[in-house]
Amino acid sequence: MQNNGFSSGPSIHGDGRADVTGSELVDLPDAQDSNLDMDRETLKTGTTTVGVKADDGVVLVTDMRASLGHMVSSKATKKVEQIHPTAAMTIAGSVSAAQSLLSTIEAEAKLYELRRDKELSINGLSTLLGNLLRSGAFLVVVPVLGGVDEEGPHVYSFDALGGKSEEDYAVSGSGSQFALGVLENRFEDDLSMEEAEDAAIDSVLTAIERDTASGNGLTVARITSDGVDFEQFEDLDELR
């Protein structure tokens, strides 16, 4: 039978166990089989996104500038989206691939919940996200994942090929090195949500001062066990 790209359900291991971190919807290509011809310019990312873990939640902060080469193509781009009842993901990289990845991971999480009558854990969500990136179908996107489950708050960083690690704070995009220095100095264990938000905002504002691909406002996502709340700030002066 010809493969139409859609699967009838989760893949099955040799011992009969369902692979809960595999795709529920599609049979994704192997990255080693992808014949993608991308030059270095295509793979450049331009943005600053950060995630900071607090004592009872996670704060994600991104800038709002989208660039096309040396041109600012948008000043009001939302680079963080909710993908799970208590999780959100930031994006840095190709807009087309990022939009596709966001819709895919959100659909996968919803389908998992419908089929199993329970929400996917944040660790399981991070594994699924890593597997999607590893497929090679979403080059090139570098996300930061933040979420809260019964085990508490979680922040995960990824590389473009699906490698992941759980961190107290994480960054992505061209302003990463500037934001990371601030977070290294500001982060402490058991930060309150307000303290984590202040540190995250300060780190992105610092990156904006030095990274020409970042700017034009901030989007803040506050994630707790109650859900995800968003707020945008177009006037950066009110945050300084």
> At which residue do the structure tokens 């996107």 appear?
141
Helices (H) and strands (E) in the chain, counts: 4, 12
Mapped onto helix, strand or coil, the DSSP state of residue 122 is helix
Cα–Cα distance for residue pair 130/21, rounded to 1 Å: 9
Residues known to be catalytic: 47
Beta-ladder partners of 158: 164
* Burial class of residue 114, CB neighbours in 10 A (0-12, 13-18, 19+): exposed
| 5 in Cβ contact with 26 (< 8 Å) | yes
Using the structure block, give the residue that is written with the tokens 């809260």: 148
Give the tokens for residue 16: 């009969």
- Spatial CA neighbour of 26 closest among 121, 123, 138: 138
